[in-house]
Chains A and B, each alone.
Chain A
């Protein structure tokens, strides 16, 4: 259990015993926010007086993210992903960006014990009333054959189509943060999926949005790096059923498909936030926790050894794994 206090711009954290006390400096970033990937893209850098340079690097990164997103979206017919989905061949060559993102989808599936599945495009479209196809998980029916320079060949049975969704955003957040290597403390916010790097002795405060009330936090996470140590890498992601939801034929539905049924998950979790090593892993596990429900979801998150997890249930309970407590600020 930790106790955090604020005093003159610095934060003291007592961990476990009174003897172990560490002081962290909250970061006041230079932020650049725009729209991308159909949502929000924000870059936060600790500038140390280099605000102009921070803005310039942020603009360049946004342009890069736009190019990645243009290749990975399913909402245009000219993206690499859309071309792959439209190709009737069983073996299709893809470029390095799509290959890496699909590989990330495989890792996400493994990390989430199959609850995260990028082969459920038809199930998602059926849930939206845009398809009548039978929706079933096709995990394990496709494979990636690596080629030189990051390219690959995708082998899949006829009709298997992909939807990266939030997995693509988590992958983009991690990849974008990797390009900000010259900034010791940085956050890339890809529509709610955060890739975070914190330099020693500093901390980022991350609010978990309460989906019930605008502008209110369910909790505040304080992500730190021990003074004198190495920069710390974090991933924070939130998934839930309260924003992307709709009424179809009198039935309220949402976008998180349960691979066990091929239909929108019936769950007691409204929203799940997971803290992990990367945004991709956090996104996969947050989505899995919502789909699995609170009981199975918490067990899954514990097996995955996440760094933190906060769930809001349909019973209006805000619950967390004990490992989260040292991260909760104030």
Chain B
């Protein structure tokens, strides 16, 4: 973890209201799913804002963000050579140690961010990736370009039906996975999917996370989900982002934001 004042390399609007920012942090080692806390530009607020690291390389990290409040609005106005204070990398990311088997990813909206760099990193490692991406509309769905690669089978759903299937992406994912032998690997004698050859990751709004966790729990599959919560500090000091765990409470910033689906509970 480092706290650096870093130059912005670029700050590009990739879809209307969605920006990709490259920051010259001097560090680029991180695990996909980890995040940084950015100090808001002067006059745009007090507390730092958490952003998932989308990708990195050559002493630069990239963050993908949606303009949704004063802080992100001020961020969107920054340009090359502006300076920003970055604390990170923070938290725990996804564990991607398997080399074989299907990787299933479910992402909603800006929740696509951690998978941009993850997919670039596993390119050429000969594993199949099935990517379920849900978005509000065609504009947000356009973010799928950031993860489109030859080895990625992409399914899209939009709430307004303008791109892909109409509805929630979790419904598409659940329907597919419920179909015998369509996507998943072998099952155990109880009819549950074998966790050995199946990795499921998810990141998105709370409703998406809940659906994925409930479904995986019902099938006896352990996946990993990135949880979102309002963070005050991002480093475990304030207890704002506490969620319920199997034994006591967990801090999203410090114990997560990525959790195994069997270690969290929804209240």
B partners with A: no
